[in-house]
Amino acid sequence: MSDAQIHDEVRDHLIKQPEVILEDHDMMRALIAANERAMGNNIVDLRGIAMERLEERLDRLEDTHRSVIAAAYENLAGMNVIHRAVLRMLEHTDFETFLSELGSEIADILRVDCVRLVLETVQENPDSPAIQKLGDVLVTAKPGFCDDYAGQGPARSGPAVTLRQVHEQDAKLYGETAFWIRSEALIRLDLGEGCLPGMLVMGCEDPHQFKPGQGTDLLTFFGGVFERTMRRWLA
């Protein structure tokens, strides 16, 4: 039997199941290349060229399909995280406990390393017993601090979200953790008529957790729920 011949068992198997070759990209490429060599250099196989282009287009479509599916799963996972955090936030009836869990359990659910609630006030006194009692999560600041820190104007309709990568941050916000915060999400808060604006700050050690260009819809929703919760506490 010469090298060009196919073993009878292999031949019978391929005849019975030709899809074995059709579904194998490497075998199909080898067959096309062999056909082109048999035709000679002076013949252009337009069908083969068309098949190559269709194969490249199919590969691109498959890559896009996988990317879309991955993005959908990531968005669904993010949505579940936000929903869990919102439900946990709505459970509390005591403001002190609410703030305590905001910096612990709710921060863990949101997968961030640090959470701070900034409230602007004309009577800033961070050393007052009432403020100290509420822990590190609550930070008071002078009017205009949120605008200056976020580097943007006040939100016109609902909370405005800013995502950015940072280096060492303001110790006023993060305290001793300021030196390792590498990305942060800033959610501007409208606390209602007669109240100065506030800001919810989420900091992460991972520099890629928050960065410009990422979607902010879920954080905007979370900020909207947080605004309404804070208005209830401040009323």
CATH of the domain at 223: 3.30.450.40
**Coil, helix or strand for 121?**
coil
Does 81 map to a domain? Answer: no
CA 104 to chain centre: 21
Average pLDDT over residues 36-59: 69
What is the band of 48 on the pLDDT scale with cuts at 50, 70, 90? low
Q: pLDDT higher for 158 or 185? A: 185
Q: Provide the mean pLDDT of the chain.
A: 79
Closest C-alpha among 164, 229, 163, 166 to residue 198: 229
**pTM higher than 0.85:** no
**pLDDT value for 76:** 77
Domain with 179, as residue range(s), is 94-234
Compute, in degrees rounded to 10, the torsion defined by CA atoms 127, 128, 134, 139.
-50
What CA–CA distance (Å, rounded) separates 1 from 129?
97
- Count of C-beta atoms within a 10 Å radius of residue 160: 20
Which residue type occupies 200? L
**Cα-Cα end-to-end distance for the chain:** 94
> 16-20, 70-74, 90-94, 197-201: which has the highest mean pLDDT?
197-201
Does 72 map to a domain? Answer: no
What CA–CA distance (Å, rounded) separates 96 from 211?
31
Does 218 map to a domain? Answer: yes
**pLDDT value for 155:** 47
**pLDDT value for 35:** 67
**pLDDT value for 199:** 92
- Count of C-beta atoms within a 10 Å radius of residue 205: 13
Q: What percent of the chain has pLDDT over 90?
A: 14
Does 2 map to a domain? Answer: no
- Count of C-beta atoms within a 10 Å radius of residue 40: 7
Q: Which regions of the chain does DSSP assign to beta strands (E)?
A: 114-120, 138-141, 161-165, 183-189, 198-204
Does 160 map to a domain? Answer: yes
Per the structure, the count of domains in the chain is 1
**pLDDT value for 2:** 43
The pLDDT tens digits of the residues spanning 114-163 come to 899 998 888 766 556 555 556 678 888 888 888 888 885 554 445 689 99
The pLDDT tens digits of the residues spanning 100-109 come to 888 889 999 9
Closest C-alpha among 137, 90, 99 to residue 116: 137
Q: What angle do CA 210, 216, 218 make, to 5 degrees?
A: 110
What CA–CA distance (Å, rounded) separates 204 from 198?
20
Does 135 map to a domain? Answer: yes
Which residues touch 30 (CB under 8 Å, ≥6 apart)?
none
What is the band of 14 on the pLDDT scale with cuts at 50, 70, 90? confident
- Would strands 198-204 and 114-120 be described as parallel, antiparallel, or unpaired? antiparallel
pLDDT of 1 higher than 50? no
Region of 90 (left: φ > 0; alpha: ψ -120 to 50; beta: rest) is: alpha
Average pLDDT over residues 6-29: 76
Does 226 map to a domain? Answer: yes
